[in-house]
Amino acid sequence: MQLISIIVPCYNEEESIPLFYQRVETILTEFNRHKEQYQWEYWFINDGSQDASLQQMAYLHARVPETVHYITFTRNFGKEAALLAGLKEAHGDLVAVMDVDLQDPPELLPTMIETLEASDYDVIGTQRVDRTGEPWLRAKLSTAFYHVINCISQVQIVPGARDYRLMRQAVVQAIVAMPEYNRFSKGIFSWVGFKTKYLPFHHQDRIAGETHWSLRQLIAYSLEGIMDYSEVPLSLASWLGGISCVVAIFSMIGIVIRALVFGSTTAGWSSLVAIILLLGGLQLFCLGILGKYIGKIYLETKHRPIYLVKEKC
């Protein structure tokens, strides 16, 4: 029998965990009723939750210790660290990554398993084709993010692609072998390659609780992804500096010619101050971009662990 490992990152999801487990268990049990060729296990990753998420995981583990496992971090290290921790522990022939809030519909799992087993695909991913119910600004910014990163990066990310996917063990090993501290899963999934098929689905509302991603956090996460997989921001800083120098040279030539021809200097202190402020702003902007990349290098060179485990069952 083939083993399916299901990785479920959790942060303050005490209400969602039992609902998620019950729904996935029902779907997989029904799917396996006539085939009886699959077993499955759960790896819940407690990413420093402050609510009763750990107690919910411990309760499920006590009920079915051979099926439900969990890892508890010493603090909140973020979803990327939780995904990596789950992938390192998942030894199933097939490995699934899912969100516990059921915005990743478990009903797709049987189709994903059958599609993967009946083809030469290595990964079956999912793609959300609409953003019904999301704030207008968040939806527009998300669309813009996919457009920008696909234009400036060699790694192409399918618009609307979710972390929800089913992978063969070879893919998991390739992802785990990437040791970088700054992790952006959507980029990593695309970078490792492997033959991938995406299944579309429509937006699903959370089963319980509220999202833990604010608009500011999503923007910061998007910028991290762009910088992790593109050097274009550095090139942009260089181009801005070069263009500013060219404009300044032609401006000085114009001033000299005007002084020689008309015998007067250029008037307008306010415009001069505005230009100085503009150039100063461009310089600080470019330094900020450079500083972000240096900061990433600094974090990588520390060689700190991506997460610390407090308990594993």
Task: Assign 190 a pLDDT band (cuts: 50, 70, 90).
Answer: confident
Give the per-residue pLDDT at 267. Answer: 61
The full set of domain ranges for the chain reads 2-230, 232-302
What tokens appear for 139 in the block? 């939806």
Strands 161-168 and 123-128: antiparallel
Task: Assign 273 a pLDDT band (cuts: 50, 70, 90).
Answer: low
pLDDT exceeds cutoff 80 at 57 = yes
Decide which of 69 and 190 is more confident. 69
Question: Tell me: the pLDDT tens digits for 110-124?
Answer: 989 988 888 889 989
Rounded CA-CA distance 145/187 in Å is: 13
Residues pairing with 45 in the sheet: 9, 71
Q: What is the pTM assigned to this prediction?
A: 0.75
pLDDT exceeds cutoff 60 at 270 = no
- List C-alpha distances in Å: 268 to 136, 258, 275: 44, 14, 11
pLDDT exceeds cutoff 70 at 229 = no
Tally Cβ neighbours within 10 Å of residue 109: 22
- Identify the DSSP state of 56: H
With 0-12 CB in 10 A as exposed, 13-18 as middle and 19+ as buried, what is 66? exposed
Distance separating the N- and C-terminal Cα atoms of the chain? 23
Give the per-residue pLDDT at 95. Answer: 92
Q: Is 311 helix (H, G, I), strand (E, B) or coil?
A: strand
pLDDT exceeds cutoff 90 at 42 = yes
Q: Which of 120, 125, 107 is nearest to 166 (CA)?
A: 125
Q: What is the mean pLDDT of the chain?
A: 80
Question: Tell me: the pLDDT tens digits for 93-148?
Answer: 899 998 888 888 888 899 899 888 888 899 898 888 777 766 667 767 777 776 77
pLDDT exceeds cutoff 60 at 290 = yes
Give the per-residue pLDDT at 79. Answer: 85
Give Cα 294 to chain centroid, integer Å.
21
- List C-alpha distances in Å: 85 to 69, 187, 212, 251, 268: 12, 18, 20, 57, 62
Q: What percent of the chain has pLDDT over 90?
A: 12
Q: Among 29-33, 92-96, 147-151, 287-291, where is mean pLDDT lowest?
A: 147-151
pLDDT mean over 205-223:
65
With contact defined as beta carbons under 8 Å apart, do 225 and 141 qualify?
no
- List C-alpha distances in Å: 300 to 58, 75, 136, 220, 223: 34, 20, 36, 19, 18
Q: Which of 40, 44, 38 is nearest to 17 (CA)?
A: 44
With contact defined as beta carbons under 8 Å apart, do 18 and 208 qualify?
no
Task: Assign 60 a pLDDT band (cuts: 50, 70, 90).
Answer: very high
Give the per-residue pLDDT at 211. Answer: 63
Q: Is 94 helix (H, G, I), strand (E, B) or coil?
A: strand
Give the per-residue pLDDT at 5. Answer: 92
What tokens appear for 198 in the block? 């995406």
Give the per-residue pLDDT at 268. Answer: 61
CATH fourth-level superfamily of 2-230: Spore Coat Polysaccharide Biosynthesis Protein SpsA; Chain A (3.90.550.10)
Backbone dihedral angles phi then psi of residue 99, each to the nearest 5 degrees: -90, 140
Q: What percent of the chain has pLDDT over 70?
A: 79
Rounded CA-CA distance 107/44 in Å is: 19
pLDDT mean over 20-36:
86
Task: Assign 276 a pLDDT band (cuts: 50, 70, 90).
Answer: confident
Q: Which of 72, 14, 66 is nearest to 41 (CA)?
A: 66
What tokens appear for 208 in the block? 């319980």
Give the per-residue pLDDT at 61. Answer: 92
With contact defined as beta carbons under 8 Å apart, do 307 and 66 qualify?
no
